[in-house]
Amino acid sequence: MTTGAKDVVIVGGGIVACLTGLILGRQGYKVTILEADSLGSHASGFAFGGLDPLTGIGLPEPLLEFSLWCYGRHRGLARELHEATGIDVGFELRDRLHLAFTEEEAAESKKNIEWMKDVGGFNVEWVDTAGALQLEPQVSPECIGALFEQSPGALEPYRFILAAMRAAEQYGVEMVQRRAVGLITDGDKCTGVELENGTISAGIVVLAMGPWTGLASEWCGVNIPVTPLRGQILRVRSANKSLNMAINYAHSYVATKPDGLIWAGTTEEEAGFEESTTSEARDSIMADFMKMIPGMDDAELVQQTACLRPLSADGMPIVDRVTGWDNLFVATGAGRKGILWSTGMAQAMFDLIDTGKVQVDGAEHLTLGRFS
């Protein structure tokens, strides 16, 4: 069975796909999103939802401008989505403490403060042990200090992707539950997508398949260096007082969410496409949790989740036209920063499709050609 032609077919149904569909639909494009499973069933729906533009891969160079653009867009987009759909995506300003337990960790944090303090809109400073305990009395007194970030953001990822898709539907964007298995081509043009049980024609195709985007390399003959990075998160319940802010240490974090549960994570595992949870990850996360917040040894595990994040070869997103193709595009590879970077990735993809010239600050660093 072959469906009718659409202006744009987006393969993959994560947050980047939904936001791209929303922007395209609002500008009059006919858009179909192909999702093999269900909305929010992978990384976009299970992420923690942190929106910190000052930490992570590619910062401060070359992605600081891009991260700040994405963060700024989130603040307005949260209001827009609420007005359009009635769904509160849970955007909030949430302070953070990045704990240090060794002199080496403290030196690294103080080095980062040197450039962070010059970024407008954020108060970043070093606090000693007493200062950290004053800000959050439940942190470990064994820490020798912390980097304090005032007002980075956070949101609820599942509500975010749900609101984005509901808003997109108001402009005629449709999500079809079908699995793509290949591309239909004519020379350097992609004329559609092969499905498990049919085909769909398209004027433009966007590959936004998360960690599965790398599999599309065989479809288009161009290396898209993206692999799955498994991340696991624990949701726990404690009788202790809620945490005042998010607490970070190394690659781990702990924070009280609006549902009253404490979320603790995360792992960074090269496990292929295996999405199951493991006892090893549970124990590792709990060890870091207890190191940061030792007084919560009564915490009761409520749920353990796992998802596969799309990680590019250098950890930074890929948003570009696929090399050698006239109308085939790719948007993926954001790793642990997918929720934050989704706004900039979606807008940059729209710009490429609509005018060929990207207006998003710093997006020139997201090209696929950097790997060749």
Q: Is 222 helix (H, G, I), strand (E, B) or coil?
A: coil
Q: What percent of the chain has pLDDT over 90?
A: 90
In this structure, of 6-10, 143-147, 301-305, 361-365, the range with the lowest mean pLDDT score is 6-10
Q: Residue 126: beta bridge partners?
A: 147
**Residue range(s) in the chain whose domain bears CATH number 3.30.9.10:** 95-151, 229-312
For residue 240, name the pLDDT band (cuts at 50, 70, 90): confident
- Show the beta-strand stretches assigned E in the chain: 2-11, 31-34, 50-51, 92-93, 96-100, 123-127, 145-150, 153-154, 174-176, 180-186, 189-195, 198-207, 226-237, 246-249, 252-256, 262-265, 300-312, 318-321, 328-332
* Per-residue confidence (pLDDT) for residue 42, from 0 to 100: 83
Residue range 13-27: mean pLDDT, rounded: 97
Which CATH class name applies to 229-312? alpha beta
CATH class of this structure's domain 2-85+157-225+313-371: alpha beta
Specify the DSSP class assigned to residue 95: -
Q: What is the mean pLDDT of residues 140-149?
A: 97
Provide the pLDDT for residue 6: 72
Crossing angle of helices 338-354 and 15-26, rounded to 10°? 40
CB-count burial class (<10 Å; 0-12, 13-18, 19+) for 356: exposed
What is the model's pLDDT at position 2? 47
Amino acid identity of residue 260, one-letter, is G
Per the CB < 8 A criterion, the answer to whether 159 and 89 are in contact is yes
> What integer pLDDT is reported at residue 297 of this predicted model?
83
What lies within 8 Å, CB to CB, of 54 at 6+ separation is 64, 67, 116, 119, 122, 124, 149, 152
In this prediction, residues 342-363 reach a mean pLDDT of 97
Residue range 95-151 forms a domain whose CATH class is alpha beta
Q: Which of 5, 11, 329, 348 is nearest to 195 (CA)?
A: 11
Comparing CA positions, the residue from 355, 272, 314, 333 lying closest to residue 12 is 333
Q: Position of tokens 């161009």?
A: 222
Instruction: Evaluate if residue 331 carries a pLDDT over 80.
Output: yes
Please give the DSSP secondary-structure letter assigned to residue 334: B
- Predicted local distance difference test score (pLDDT) of residue 3: 53
Euclidean distance between CA atoms 253 and 290, whole angstroms: 11
